Structure 1
Amino acid sequence: MASTSMHATAMNQVIPNEIWVSLQSEDSSTMKVVRASHAPDGRKVDVKPILRIIDNILLRASPAIVEVHIILILADKLSGIYEDKGFPEEDMIGRSDVDAKLKTLASIIKKVSSELFSYNNLALSGTFKSNNVNQTIIPYGATMDCKCSCSGGRDVHTTIMMILDTLSSYSWDAKVVLTVAAFIVNYGHEFLLFSSSEANNSAIAQSIASLKQLRDITDHAKFSKAKIDAIIKLLKVIMAVTRYIVELHNLPLESIATDESPMSKAIAYIPRAAYWTMLSVVVSASYIASLSGHEESTTELLDLSRLASEGSKIQVILRSYRTIYKEYEDEKSKPAYWDLVKTISSTHSNNMTILKILLLVDGKQHLVGHTNKRIHIEELRKMNVFLLVSGLDLSKEEIDVLGKLYQEAKTKGEIQYEVVWIPVVETIAWDQEKQQKFEQLLALMPWYAVPAPSKIKAEVVKYVKTEWKFEKNMVLVPLDTQGKFGSLNAIDMLLIRGNEALSSIFSEKEESLWETQKTWTLELLLGGIDNNFSLVLDWTKQGTMVCLYGGEDIEWIREFTRATNAVKNISSATRMEVVYVGKKNAIKEVENINSKIDGEKLSRYWSDLTSIWFFWTRLESMLYLKMQQCRNSRNDLIMQELTTLLSYDGSDRGWALFCKGSSEMALARGDVALKSMKEFGERRDSAVQNGLFPELSSYIIRESQKKQRCSRIILSGDRQEIPNKKLSSDGCECSMEKCFVYRCCAD
Structure 2
Amino acid sequence: MNLLRIELFDPCLLSSIQEDLLIKNILRTHDPDFRYKIDAGHLLLVAESTMHFISPKFSYPQSNCMNSWNIEVFGLEEKLGYTIKKISHEIFCKCNEDGNLHEETMMLFETLGPFRWDAKVVLTLAAVVSIYGEFWLIMQLVHCNSLAALTAALKQMPRELNMLTLQCRALNLLLDTMIEAANLVLDFEGLPLQQELLDDEAIVVTKSKMNSDSSNIAAWTLFSLVYKLSGLCNDLREKLHTCQMQIDRQFPEKIRDLFKVAHFHNQEVLRVLFSLKNDLPLKDSSQEKYYGIQELKNKVVLLLISKPELFSVEEIFYLVRQMHDHPLHKKIGGSYAILWVPIPSSHTWSLTDELNFQFLSNSLPWFSIRRPWSLHSAVVNFIRQEWIYKNEPVMVVLSTDGVVTNLNATDMVWLWGAKAFPFSASREKELWEQENRILQLLIHGIDPLLTNWVEEGKHFCIYGSDNISWIREFNGSLKKIKSNGIQFEAIYVGYRNPSKDVENVLDISIEENLSISLSTTKMKWFWLRLESIKSSVARVEQAAHYNKSLQHVLRLLDACETSNDWMIIGEGSSTDVVILKGREVQECLNLVPELAENVTKLGLFDAMTCAMGPPLPVKPCYHNEILPSEEGLTEETVFCSRCKRPVEKFVVYQCNVTESAEQ
- Give the structure-1-normalised TM-score: 0.45
Q: Structure 1 residues 554, 418: closer, same or farther in 2, change over 3 A?
A: same
Deviation (angstroms), 1:669: 0.6
Listed as ranges, the matches of 1:425-464 within 5 Å are 425-464=344-383
Deviation (angstroms), 1:600: 3.0
CA contact (8 A) 2:261 2:403 kept: no
CA contact (8 A) 2:563 2:581 kept: no
Deviation (angstroms), 1:634: 7.4
Partner of 1:385: 301
The yes-or-no answer on 1:514 pairing with 2:432 is yes
Partner of 2:573: 662
CA contact (8 A) 1:361 1:455 kept: no
Partner of 2:278: 363
Deviation (angstroms), 1:588: 6.0
CA distance in 1, matches of 2:252, 2:531: 33
Q: Structure 1 residues 469, 330: closer, same or farther in 2, change over 3 A?
A: farther
CA contact (8 A) 1:385 1:478 kept: yes
Q: Structure 1 residues 479, 691: closer, same or farther in 2, change over 3 A?
A: closer
Q: Deviations over 1:546-586 (max 9, x none)?
A: 121113333322221232123323x1x11111111233443
The yes-or-no answer on 1:621 pairing with 2:621 is no
CA distance in 1, matches of 2:534, 2:497: 16
Deviation (angstroms), 1:341: 1.1
Partner of 1:396: 313
The DSSP-based 3-state class of the residue aligned with 1:444 is coil
The DSSP-based 3-state class of the residue aligned with 2:404 is coil
Deviation (angstroms), 1:420: 0.8
Partner of 1:468: 387
Question: Structure 2: which 5+ runs fail to align?
Answer: 1-55, 64-243, 616-663
Q: Structure 1 residues 466, 492: closer, same or farther in 2, change over 3 A?
A: same
Partner of 1:420: 339
CA distance in 2, matches of 1:596, 1:427: 44
Give the partner amino acid of 1:492: D
Q: Structure 1 residues 595, 468: closer, same or farther in 2, change over 3 A?
A: farther
CA contact (8 A) 2:339 2:366 kept: yes
Partner of 2:119: none
Partner of 2:481: 567
Q: Deviations over 1:411-455 (max 9, x none)?
A: 222762221100111123322222121123223310121122222
CA contact (8 A) 2:298 2:335 kept: no
Q: Deviations over 1:323-355 (max 9, x none)?
A: xxxxxx999966432222123324422211211
CA distance in 1, matches of 2:262, 2:290: 29
Q: Deviations over 1:34-62 (max 9, x none)?
A: xxxxx99966999xxxxxxxxxxxxxxxx
Q: Structure 1 residues 428, 377: closer, same or farther in 2, change over 3 A?
A: same
Among candidates 411, 416, 427, match of residue 492 of structure 1: 411
The yes-or-no answer on 1:645 pairing with 2:645 is no
CA distance in 2, matches of 1:589, 1:358: 46
Give the partner amino acid of 1:651: T
Q: Structure 1 residues 439, 338: closer, same or farther in 2, change over 3 A?
A: same
CA contact (8 A) 1:351 1:481 kept: yes
Deviation (angstroms), 1:686: 6.5
Among candidates 441, 449, 461, match of residue 524 of structure 1: 441
The yes-or-no answer on 1:501 pairing with 2:413 is no
Among candidates 581, 584, 587, match of residue 672 of structure 1: 584
The DSSP-based 3-state class of the residue aligned with 1:666 is strand
CA contact (8 A) 1:532 1:606 kept: no
The yes-or-no answer on 1:337 pairing with 2:252 is yes
Q: Deviations over 1:136-162 (max 9, x none)?
A: xxxxxxxxxxxxxxxxxxxxxxxxxxx
The DSSP-based 3-state class of the residue aligned with 1:656 is strand
Question: Structure 1: which 5+ runs fail to align?
Answer: 1-38, 47-328, 704-747
Give the partner amino acid of 2:369: V
Partner of 2:631: none
Partner of 1:553: 467
Q: Structure 1 residues 591, 488: closer, same or farther in 2, change over 3 A?
A: farther
Identity %: 25
Q: Structure 1 residues 381, 415: closer, same or farther in 2, change over 3 A?
A: closer
Q: Structure 1 residues 374, 668: closer, same or farther in 2, change over 3 A?
A: same
Partner of 2:453: 536
Deviation (angstroms), 1:367: 1.4
Q: Structure 1 residues 444, 550: closer, same or farther in 2, change over 3 A?
A: farther
The DSSP-based 3-state class of the residue aligned with 2:580 is strand
CA distance in 2, matches of 1:44, 1:650: 55
CA distance in 1, matches of 2:257, 2:370: 25
CA distance in 2, matches of 1:592, 1:40: 61
CA contact (8 A) 1:498 1:528 kept: no
CA distance in 2, matches of 1:335, 1:629: 37
Q: Deviations over 1:383-413 (max 9, x none)?
A: 3321111112412233223323234455222
Give the partner amino acid of 1:444: S
Q: Structure 1 residues 348, 441: closer, same or farther in 2, change over 3 A?
A: same
CA contact (8 A) 2:265 2:400 kept: yes
CA contact (8 A) 2:461 2:568 kept: yes
CA contact (8 A) 1:361 1:452 kept: no
CA distance in 1, matches of 2:614, 2:363: 49
CA distance in 2, matches of 1:454, 1:677: 58
Partner of 1:579: 491
Listed as ranges, the matches of 1:118-133 within 5 Å are none
CA distance in 2, matches of 1:346, 1:689: 61
Give the partner amino acid of 1:535: N
Q: Deviations over 1:351-392 (max 9, x none)?
A: 112112222375352312337432232322333321111112
